[in-house]
Amino acid sequence: MSTNNDNAFADLLHSLRKASELSQVELAEAAGLDDSYISYLERGLREHPSQMIVLSLAKGLGLSTEETDWMLVSAGYAPTRVQSLLREPKLGDLDDVLANLPKGDESKMIHSLIDTALTHGRSALEKAGGG
């Protein structure tokens, strides 16, 4: 059974595929997936895909970084720009990313994802540094 968030991902995937003028079979081939899986995702009948699958779908659709980030967020993952900041944190980059986040209903979810990612990132850095 799908939830509203599942439907957001399903609707976005369907819209992006249609905009790319690809059939489900063509997208499946481009992303290295089964076409029935694409159908299930678009109908909200499957759990959110892994981050790797979302990135494969984005590549298969030929999406921009911004569009890829929307797909990642709709599937419950942090945008690529936020993930890259965790690998090489720079305050100026963080300010730029935060300034360019969408406004409205999506911003609460994105800010929550950022907070979670930063918390986990800091925790991992502290463990790696020995405290």
| Continuous segment of H or E residues that includes residue 1 | none
Same domain, 59 and 8: yes
pLDDT at 38: 96
Residue 111 in any domain: the answer is yes
- Banded pLDDT at 49 (limits 50, 70, 90): very high
- 127 vs 27, residue with greater confidence: 27
Residue 75 in any domain: the answer is no
Picking from 125, 53, 51, the residue whose alpha carbon sits closest to that of residue 88 is 125
Q: How does DSSP classify residue 79?
A: -
- Banded pLDDT at 117 (limits 50, 70, 90): low
Q: Per the structure block, which two tokens stand in for 109?
A: 């979810």
Same domain, 97 and 123: yes
Q: Tell me the residue range of the domain where 54 lies.
A: 4-63
Residue 87 in any domain: the answer is yes
Q: State pTM to two decimals.
A: 0.64
Q: Per the structure block, which two tokens stand in for 5?
A: 């968030």
Specify the amino acid at residue 24. Q
What is the mean pLDDT of the segment spanning 54-65?
Answer: 95
The domain that holds 50 is classified in CATH as: 1.10.260.40
What is the mean pLDDT of the segment spanning 113-129?
Answer: 57
d(CA 5, CA 8): 5
pLDDT at 81: 74
Domain count, the chain: 2
Q: Residue 80 pLDDT > 70, yes or no?
A: yes
Same domain, 59 and 85: no
